[in-house]
Structure 1
Amino acid sequence: MQSDYSAHEAYIRPARPRAELWRLVVGLCMAMVIYLGLIWAMQALALALLSDDGYFQFNLHIRNGRSPEGALYLLTSFGFLTIALAAVAQQLHRRNPLSLLGSPGLALQQGWAVFKAVALLYLVLSLLPPYDLLPENAAQRAVGPWIALLPLALPALLIQTSAEELLFRGYIQQQLAARFASRWVWMLVPAALFGLMHYRADAGANTWILIGWAAAFSIAASDLTARAGTLGPAIALHFVSNAVAILFVSQDEALSGLALFAAPVDMADPATLRPLLLLDLCVLFISWLAARLALRR
């Protein structure tokens, strides 16, 4: 089946005037320096404003995101990455930072269409047998406080997923596609980097399987971006996927502070993790198909 990537050309056009490879490398370094600098500035501000015990509690919360406060901080701190990428686009590439997103109106329209399709898919899948997928060790948070946190958790999750898409599909994919015509470059390089970002030292022999799953997600998001010509669909797909894992059923202790159900999984146990990842890969494939169908309407 031939891919329709005609919209991709318009999407990458703003990156063409300054598409040198060295600019991409320097831009990534600049973005990381700005991002880490803003993170350290927040640490310094917390140190200046909080008592010794308050600063200790602050660091305890943000260390792993197991509390609501820690999870919210970690998710919203990705906004610093968005600021960093905007600065790099403006100063190094001399282009409008919104060009990383594509047409804002179209991105919103496409993103909403994909969000509805993928969210409906997850809802349907949750209603299919077997009806109780939660393990016996699953712990449920009180529903009232969980609902009360949603007005904060949903925007925080959108900040996190948007920032990652702006980096990998917006900045890296755009710059590579403006320099290299082959999709093997502008799809697989971001996929490799996105996969390596999900490296887990505690996963043991499962480490490369986790990296492979993340790389597969990246390829799906890159394909949707190329078909749509905006980041809207990729952000929507990423948002729904992360919402399920962070806000509803957390199988990882990290960033579990906002989840309705906590069902921790031993990341190093192949017998437990690999069937779950295989199931997730199937759901990802179906979600990608649902997103493509939504874009055609």
Structure 2
Amino acid sequence: MTMIEPAAYAAHEHLVRDARARPDLWRLLVGLVIVCALYLAANTVLFAIVGALIPPSQAQGFLRGTSPLATFVLLASFGFLTIGVAVAAKQMQQRSLWAILGERRLAISQFTRVLVALVVLGLALAALPPYGMGDPLTQNLAFSTWIVLLPFAAGAVLIQTSAEEILFRGYLQQSLAARFRSPLIWVGVPSALFAAGHYAPGVAGDNALLVAVWSCVFGVLAADLTARSGTLGPAIALHFFNNVISLLFISLPDTLSGLALFLLPYDMSDGGVLRQWLWVDFGSMMVCWLTARLVIRR
């Protein structure tokens, strides 16, 4: 089925064209079953090993990622998701993982340039008021410990963020674009599923819907960057930058906080201060997306 894309999304064709040889929806659905099965099976084995090595009293805290080791293991376990996508794409579409990521040199170049631009932007925003986030932050790790762990922690975040982009903006988006010409489908469906995966009322309470909407908008912006650039490089850079800030610098205490330098003085279900900062975070995300768009236009 021929897809007519907007001129701005012409580069997306480089990612989609080899998926057109096998655009059947049943292939995508079976592929997703393969991804889920491999991911769940690998994690079952991993956490069975972890459960045998740690005391039962520490199991709940480990699953929440409240220690450095727990957070590292939980983030690195997303690598199984990438492996699942690689197997599914090969078996169902005869595509390689690099076909999903995009042309290798271009993807790496775009990732690097966008990430550098976002770091510069982040430093500039940090220099502007308001200073602080209300109540004082809690020191989570000693700076000497944090700086030693930082390279390994950043690598684990890269595994996690690239895995989510490879699945949602890669395998899902490209497979749907090979079958449907409307961006409303190949942008909307993966973004909605991405939002559903971040809907956690048990953790976020009354903020759960707002967090899910935030995630959906992020998915749309990442999909836009992917379609404009022709690789997953910019979307991975945007996702990586966002998660490094929220997981390694200043984290919520609820989950995946073990590698953060500081903790916020409120949790994800806070209906007051946190909700206000979610809107600030939303504005910052839009600025980051616009910055990434400027970079990939060069």
Question: What's the TM-score, normalizing by structure 1?
Answer: 0.93
**2:250 corresponds to:** 249
**2:3 corresponds to:** none
1:142 pairs with 2:142: yes
Matches within 5 A, 1:48-197: 50=53, 54=54, 56=56, 59-133=59-133, 135-197=135-197
**2:234 corresponds to:** 233
Which amino acid letter does the alignment assign opposite residue 235 of structure 1? Answer: I
C-alpha distance in structure 1 between counterparts of 2:18 and 2:59, whole Å: 40
1:138 Cα deviation (Å)? 2.9
1:293 Cα deviation (Å)? 0.8
Runs of 5+ consecutive residues of structure 1 not aligned to the other structure = none
1:20 Cα deviation (Å)? 1.0
The question of whether the paired residues in 2 share the 8 Å contact of 1:13 and 1:178 is answered with: yes
The question of whether the paired residues in 2 share the 8 Å contact of 1:253 and 1:264 is answered with: no
C-alpha distance in structure 2 between counterparts of 1:116 and 1:175, whole Å: 30
Matches within 5 A, 1:215-230: 215-230=216-231
**Cα 1:18–1:55 shift into 2, 3 Å:** farther
Deviations 1:210-253 (A, max 9, x none): 10000010001000000000000000000000000000000242
How many aligned positions are there? Answer: 292
1:13 pairs with 2:17: yes
258-267 or 160-169, which moves further after superposition?
258-267
C-alpha distance in structure 2 between counterparts of 1:259 and 1:209, whole Å: 23
Deviations 1:62-97 (A, max 9, x none): 310010000000000000111111000111211222
The question of whether the paired residues in 1 share the 8 Å contact of 2:136 and 2:265 is answered with: no
The question of whether the paired residues in 1 share the 8 Å contact of 2:252 and 2:268 is answered with: no
221-230 or 94-103, which moves further after superposition?
94-103
Which amino acid letter does the alignment assign opposite residue 20 of structure 1? Answer: D
1:114 Cα deviation (Å)? 0.5
Runs (4 or more) in structure 1 with deviation over 6 Å come to none
Runs of 5+ consecutive residues of structure 2 not aligned to the other structure = 1-5
Which amino acid letter does the alignment assign opposite residue 228 of structure 1? Answer: S
C-alpha distance in structure 1 between counterparts of 2:58 and 2:35, whole Å: 25
C-alpha distance in structure 2 between counterparts of 1:266 and 1:154, whole Å: 23
Q: Secondary structure at the match of 2:195?
A: helix
Cα RMSD, aligned residues only: 1.7
**Cα 1:58–1:155 shift into 2, 3 Å:** farther
1:24 pairs with 2:25: no
C-alpha distance in structure 1 between counterparts of 2:51 and 2:289, whole Å: 44
Which amino acid letter does the alignment assign opposite residue 30 of structure 1? Answer: I
**Cα 1:165–1:93 shift into 2, 3 Å:** same
The question of whether the paired residues in 2 share the 8 Å contact of 1:6 and 1:227 is answered with: yes
Q: Secondary structure at the match of 1:66?
A: coil
1:137 Cα deviation (Å)? 5.0
C-alpha distance in structure 2 between counterparts of 1:208 and 1:294, whole Å: 32
1:47 Cα deviation (Å)? 5.7
Question: What's the TM-score, normalizing by structure 2?
Answer: 0.93
**1:207 corresponds to:** 208
Which amino acid letter does the alignment assign opposite residue 153 of structure 1? Answer: A
